[in-house]
């Protein structure tokens, strides 16, 4: 069969044009304006498990390190950064980014802002900073993914570590803010899940008032009871960071002081981690935190899906939960999104800030399909109803 | 020709091997093990399979290879940005060569004049002139390049990028990438089949081997490890070595703490040998009867009797062993 001449010429022109016009890929980044967590005075205290800078920095590192593949695939990436003052503002920023052609948005906002703003858009939103489990359960959405580990994942990681050490008697000290109360419930559930024994739960108060010393003095708070370990729940962190070595028994402190379960630690030495940590340090000028890791891997997910030809928001969303979609997070195993709540399954690092002393899932912990799913909400619980 | 030589070597007894036309002129009867945290090589006596000494070297030694004289071992040190040249008979460092930032692995040109070095931090393949001891070219590749392999005729250099999940095919004379081949996740190491037609690439996080046709420079097949009693997520293949008869590929399975024997023709795993933790690089002795496995997380080397398909000894070495070079 002979082809019409004109058709052949058109085809030749199209082939010639494709390499000339790089495909433009826009990634949105949405974080909070005037972020209290990033107050310079707070950041310089270097609380473990808290952010060290805006998420856009890690997004840039991820794009930069992928430059070779992006150029080979003719993809030109633009990062569109926005900030929001409140939930309503977050909603309009999401709409603006969607209109601007963002293929996905890296989101670092409080849980209630996400819950209120996210339904406005259908494009993928990658939560890189909010651990609240409610976003993975009652308030989950089909286009809401999470690369930052949930509160429960972190509590499970610590509980597994204690179970593996057979440090089973746990004294819990907790703050009394609404966040602390929420997180206390998560911690207590993890303690039960892994067969530890809660010996007592005591509220603390930051105070130097002698009349309140029963609530404020670490020695008094940890006296008159026997325990293997003190688990402190202190979202702010000021009380918890002063707790180790100041309790009445010579026992370790875990949770928000002492030993933490983290998404990332800059001094992690295995699985090629130092390379990533060094790239970040060189590119940004500060050490990489768990929040940075979450923003970095979220961007890697978007780029990887785009390199697999998923260059529309709908195609991206579909790509993320395909069975073969796995990510390399420099944690030694393949990472992927759970289909039931779109949380990135991942090992967590147990660290006191000086070094990484263990990884979770702990050795010996078993699971019928993927041991990473022993951290956080598992499929049979059916906590997220939207698929 | 080479194959005939190997066939002869397998027939030769251990003692006779030393008088064979030698690839390694000195034949020290030792194996050398680099350990990332030791700044020294462990020396294993091949007769007794026990430690015969250590050779202090540069910081974080990883990839090692003999120079064409068969007597000088070149050891790339990631934290010293150089390679030490070690006279293995004297067990002494006799010189060094700068390799650029954070060198991991390298291969030599067939004439031994150049070293092609993967520089993890730079994301480059550096070409080092060994005579002038200068980096003469730096070819940008994907981030974290690792395994390097020179084609037998020297016309190409293959290098993996762990971040880009690619094998870059480089023309070393022109100093540029001629092709990027997409492979599995976190590609690490290479092995060529006996006739040179296939380049095998281990994908650490892909739990697979990509087989590249060296003629077409495309992936013709992917071997996924499906091993009873192991989950794919726990299998992280790294080190590769081809049996002397060319029929079996040995693959260190990393976290799975086993070495797989893969039948090259059928691509099937014919045997699995339990070794130490995080089996990393593998190396054969000259007649191919013994396989040495560096176990990164148990600080030891497992010696496998290839014919029996069994581990016969575990030798404690330095901290975080990376690679073994056998000089029998």
CATH at B278 = 2.40.10.480
Q: Does B248 score more than 60 pLDDT? A: yes
pLDDT at position B228 is 84
A337 band by pLDDT with thresholds 50, 70 and 90: very high
Distances A184 to A37, A178, A189, A207, A231 between C-alpha atoms, Å: 21, 10, 9, 21, 10
d(CA A367, CA A359): 16
Count: domains in chain B: 1
Under DSSP, is residue A175 helix (H, G, I), strand (E, B) or coil? coil
Residues of B in contact with A65 (CB under 8 A): 123, 143, 163
Q: Which of A65, A279, A328 sits opposite B186 (nearest CB)?
A: A328
B121 band by pLDDT with thresholds 50, 70 and 90: confident
Query: Do A74 and A176 lie in a common domain?
Result: no
Q: Are A379 and A137 in contact (CB under 8 A)?
A: no
Nearest-CA distance from A233 to chain B in Å?
Answer: 33
For residue B16, the surrounding DSSP H or E stretch is helix B14-17
Query: Do A119 and A200 lie in a common domain?
Result: no
Is B97 exposed, middle or buried (CB count within 10 Å of its CB: 0-12, 13-18, 19+)?
A: buried
Q: Which of A275, A333, A334 sits opposite B144 (nearest CB)?
A: A275
Chain B nearest-CA residue for A371: B233
Tokens describing residue B243: 């049996």
Is A381 exposed, middle or buried (CB count within 10 Å of its CB: 0-12, 13-18, 19+)?
A: exposed
Under DSSP, is residue B144 helix (H, G, I), strand (E, B) or coil? coil
Q: Is B292 a member of any domain? A: yes
CA torsion, points A386, A100, A20, A298, in degrees to nearest 10? Answer: -40
Q: Are A219 and A246 in contact (CB under 8 A)?
A: yes
What confidence tens digit (pLDDT) does each residue in A140-162 have?
Answer: 999 999 999 999 999 999 999 99
Task: List the domain range (segments joined by +) for residue B273.
Answer: 224-323
pLDDT at position A60 is 98
Alpha-helical segments (H) within chain A: 5-17, 40-43, 55-65, 67-72, 87-99, 111-117, 151-165, 178-193, 213-216, 218-221, 238-241, 273-284, 290-307, 313-320
Distances A91 to A129, A316, B67 between C-alpha atoms, Å: 17, 21, 64
Mean pLDDT for B207-219 is 97
Q: Are A307 and A366 in contact (CB under 8 A)?
A: no
Percent pLDDT > 90 in chain B is 88
pLDDT at position B20 is 39
Tokens describing residue A246: 């100041």
Tokens describing residue A172: 């819990």
Torsional sign, CA B175, B180, B185, B191: negative
CB within 8 Å: B205 and A72: no
Mean pLDDT for A9-20 is 43
For residue B11, the surrounding DSSP H or E stretch is helix B2-11
Phi-psi region of B91 (alpha: psi -120 to 50; beta: other; left: phi over 0): left
Q: Does A355 score more than 90 pLDDT? A: yes
Q: Are A39 and A113 in contact (CB under 8 A)?
A: no
Query: Do A49 and A174 lie in a common domain?
Result: no
CB within 8 Å: B121 and A333: no
Nearest-CA distance from A349 to chain B in Å?
Answer: 17
How many of the other CB atoms lie within 10 Å of CB of B113? 14
Q: CB of B120 within 8 Å of any CB in chain A?
A: yes
pLDDT at position B238 is 96
Distances A366 to A359, A360, A361, B14, B231 between C-alpha atoms, Å: 14, 12, 9, 46, 12
Residues of A in contact with B119 (CB under 8 A): none
Q: Is B65 a member of any domain? A: no
Q: CB of B104 within 8 Å of any CB in chain A?
A: no
Collect all residues with Cβ–Cβ distance below 8 Å to B244 and sequence separation of at least 6. Answer: B6, B9, B10, B284, B287, B288
DSSP bridge pairs for B53: B43
Q: Does A48 score more than 70 pLDDT? A: yes
What predicted TM-score, i.e. pTM, was given to this entire model?
Answer: 0.88
Nearest-CA distance from A278 to chain B in Å?
Answer: 8
Mutate to test the interface with B, among A270, A328, A356, A359 (most CBs of B within 10 A): A328
Q: Is A32 a member of any domain? A: yes
Residues of B in contact with A334 (CB under 8 A): 185, 205, 207, 233
What confidence tens digit (pLDDT) does each residue in B147-162 have?
Answer: 999 999 999 999 999 9
CB within 8 Å: B165 and A69: yes
Query: Do A2 and A120 lie in a common domain?
Result: yes
For residue B157, the surrounding DSSP H or E stretch is strand B157-161
Tokens describing residue B48: 């007794």
Query: Do A214 and A317 lie in a common domain?
Result: no
Query: Do A27 and A146 lie in a common domain?
Result: yes
What is the edge-to-edge ordering of all strands in the sheet holding A169-174? A197-203, A169-174, A229-233, A253-255
Which residue carries 């890929």 as its tokens?
A25
Under 8 Å CB pairs connecting chains A and B tally to 50
B27 band by pLDDT with thresholds 50, 70 and 90: confident
Task: List the domain range (segments joined by +) for residue A77.
Answer: 1-150+264-348
Q: Are B327 and B319 in contact (CB under 8 A)?
A: no
* Least confident window among A10-19, B58-67, B288-297: A10-19
pLDDT at position A113 is 98
* Least confident window among A71-85, A130-144, B15-29: B15-29
Query: Do A277 and A339 lie in a common domain?
Result: yes
- Which DSSP letter does residue B254 get? B
Phi-psi region of A280 (alpha: psi -120 to 50; beta: other; left: phi over 0): alpha
Q: Is B230 a member of any domain? A: yes
Q: Is B238 a member of any domain? A: yes
Residues of A in contact with B186 (CB under 8 A): 328
Q: Does B226 score more than 90 pLDDT? A: no
* Least confident window among A14-18, A70-74, B69-73, B89-93: A14-18
Q: Are A104 and A125 in contact (CB under 8 A)?
A: yes
Query: Do A235 and A331 lie in a common domain?
Result: no
Mean pLDDT for A19-31 is 87
Q: Which of A65, A72, A370 sits opposite B143 (nearest CB)?
A: A65
Count: domains in chain A: 2
Q: Is A8 a member of any domain? A: yes
Q: Half-sphere exposure of residue A337, counting CA atoms within 13 Å on the CB side?
A: 31
Residues of B in contact with A279 (CB under 8 A): 121, 143
d(CA A60, CA B162): 19
Q: Is B127 a member of any domain? A: no
pLDDT at position B31 is 97
pLDDT at position A10 is 42
Q: Is A60 a member of any domain? A: yes
Query: Do A75 and A142 lie in a common domain?
Result: yes
pLDDT at position B305 is 98
Q: Is B172 a member of any domain? A: no
Q: Is B284 a member of any domain? A: yes
Q: Does A165 score more than 50 pLDDT? A: yes
CB within 8 Å: A279 and B141: no
B26 band by pLDDT with thresholds 50, 70 and 90: low
Tokens describing residue A25: 């890929």
pLDDT at position A240 is 97
Is B89 exposed, middle or buried (CB count within 10 Å of its CB: 0-12, 13-18, 19+)?
A: middle
pLDDT at position A386 is 83
Mutate to test the interface with B, among A61, A63, A64, A275 (most CBs of B within 10 A): A275
How many of the other CB atoms lie within 10 Å of CB of A189? 15
CB within 8 Å: B205 and A275: no
Query: Do A134 and A43 lie in a common domain?
Result: yes
Q: Is A338 a member of any domain? A: yes
* Least confident window among A18-22, A211-215, B224-228: A18-22
Q: Does B294 score more than 80 pLDDT? A: yes
Mutate to test the interface with A, among B78, B104, B143 (most CBs of A within 10 A): B143
Q: What is the ipTM of this complex?
A: 0.81
Q: Is A370 a member of any domain? A: no
Q: Is B249 a member of any domain? A: yes
* Least confident window among A10-24, A127-141, A160-174, B269-283: A10-24
Query: Do A33 and A146 lie in a common domain?
Result: yes
d(CA A347, CA A149): 9
Query: Do A132 and A20 lie in a common domain?
Result: yes
Question: Angle, to 10 degrees, between the axis of helix A290-307 and the axis of helix A55-65?
Answer: 40
Strands B61-66 and B166-171: unpaired
Question: Angle, to 10 degrees, between the axis of helix A313-320 and the axis of helix A290-307?
Answer: 110
> Which CATH number fits the domain that encloses residue A205?
3.40.50.2300
Q: Is A157 a member of any domain? A: no
pLDDT at position B18 is 37
DSSP bridge pairs for B86: B73, B93
d(CA A242, CA A222): 14
- Which DSSP letter does residue A369 get? S
Average pLDDT score, chain B? 91
- Which DSSP letter does residue A119 get? G
Burial track B237-264 (b if 16+ CB lie within 10 A, e otherwise): bbbbbbbbebebbbbbbbbbbbbbbbeb
CB within 8 Å: A275 and B233: no
Q: CB of B256 within 8 Å of any CB in chain A?
A: no
């Amino acid at each position: 069969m002979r082809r019409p001449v004109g058709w052949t010429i058109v085809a030749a022109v199209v082939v010639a044009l494709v390499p000339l016009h790089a495909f433009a890929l826009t990634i949105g980044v949405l974080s909070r304006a005037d972020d209290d967590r990033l107050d310079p005075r707070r950041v310089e205290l270097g609380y473990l498990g808290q952010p060290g800078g805006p998420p856009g920095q890690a997004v840039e590192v991820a794009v930069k390190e992928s430059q070779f593949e992006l150029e080979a695939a003719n993809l030109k990436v633009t990062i569109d950064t926005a900030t929001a003052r409140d939930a309503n503002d977050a909603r309009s920023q999401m709409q603006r980014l969607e209109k601007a052609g963002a293929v996905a948005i890296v989101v670092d906002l409080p849980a209630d802002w996400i819950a209120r703003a996210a339904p406005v858009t259908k494009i993928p939103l990658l939560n890189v900073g909010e651990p609240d489990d409610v976003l993975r359960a009652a308030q989950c959405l089909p286009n809401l993914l999470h690369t930052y580990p949930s509160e429960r994942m972190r509590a499970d990681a610590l509980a597994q570590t204690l179970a593996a050490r057979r440090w089973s008697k746990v004294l819990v000290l907790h703050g009394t803010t609404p966040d602390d109360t929420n997180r206390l419930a998560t911690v207590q559930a993890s303690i039960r899940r892994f067969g530890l024994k809660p010996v007592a739960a005591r509220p603390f108060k930051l105070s130097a008032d002698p009349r309140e010393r029963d609530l404020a003095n670490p020695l008094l708070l940890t006296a008159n009871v026997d325990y293997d370990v003190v688990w402190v729940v202190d979202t702010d962190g000021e009380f918890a960071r002063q707790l180790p070595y100041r309790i009445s028994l010579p026992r370790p402190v875990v949770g928000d002081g002492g030993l933490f379960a983290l998404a990332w630690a800059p001094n992690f030495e295995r699985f090629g981690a130092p390379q990533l940590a060094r790239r970040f340090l060189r590119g940004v000028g500060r050490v990489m935190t768990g929040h940075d890791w979450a923003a970095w891997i979220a961007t890697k997910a978007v780029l990887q899906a785009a390199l697999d030809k998923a260059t529309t928001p709908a195609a991206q969303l579909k790509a993320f939960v395909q069975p073969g979609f796995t990510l390399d997070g420099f944690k030694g195993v393949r990472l992927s999104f759970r289909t039931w709540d779109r949380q990135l399954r991942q090992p967590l690092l147990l660290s006191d800030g000086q070094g990484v002393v263990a990884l979770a899932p702990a050795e010996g912990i078993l699971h019928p399909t993927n041991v990473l799913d022993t951290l956080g909400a598992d499929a049979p619980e059916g906590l997220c109803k939207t698929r | 020709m080479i194959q005939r030589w190997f066939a002869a070597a397998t027939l030769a007894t251990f003692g006779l091997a030393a008088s064979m036309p030698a690839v390694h002129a000195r034949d020290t009867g030792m194996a050398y093990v680099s350990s990332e945290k030791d700044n020294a090589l462990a020396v294993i006596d091949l007769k007794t399979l026990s430690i015969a000494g250590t050779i202090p070297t540069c910081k974080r030694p990883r990839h090692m290879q003999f120079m064409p004289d068969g007597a000088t071992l070149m050891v790339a040190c990631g934290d010293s940005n150089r390679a030490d040249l070690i006279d293995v008979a004297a067990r002494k460092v006799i010189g060094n060569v700068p390799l650029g930032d954070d060198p991991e692995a390298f291969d030599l040109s067939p004439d031994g004049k150049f070293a092609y070095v993967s520089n993890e931090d730079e994301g480059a393949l550096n070409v080092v002139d060994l005579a002038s001891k200068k980096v003469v070219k730096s070819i940008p590749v994907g981030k974290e390049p690792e395994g390097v392999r020179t084609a037998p005729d020297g016309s190409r250099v293959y290098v993996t990028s762990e971040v880009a999940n690619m094998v870059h095919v480089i023309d070393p004379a022109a100093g540029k990438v001629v092709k990027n081949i997409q492979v599995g996740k976190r590609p690490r190491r290479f092995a060529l089949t006996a006739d040179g037609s296939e380049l095998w690439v281990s994908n650490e996080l892909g739990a697979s081997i990509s087989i590249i046709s060296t003629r077409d420079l495309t992936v013709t097949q992917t071997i996924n490890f499906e091993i009873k009693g192991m989950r794919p997520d726990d299998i992280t293949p790294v080190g590769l070595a081809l049996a002397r008869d060319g029929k079996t590929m040995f693959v260190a399975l990393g976290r799975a703490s086993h070495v797989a024997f893969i039948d090259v023709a059928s691509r099937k795993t014919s045997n699995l040998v339990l070794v130490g933790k995080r089996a990393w690089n593998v190396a054969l002795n000259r007649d191919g009867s013994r396989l040495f496995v560096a176990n990164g997380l148990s600080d030891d080397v497992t010696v496998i009797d290839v014919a029996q398909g069994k581990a016969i000894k575990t030798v404690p070495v330095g901290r975080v062993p990376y690679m073994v070079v056998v000089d029998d």
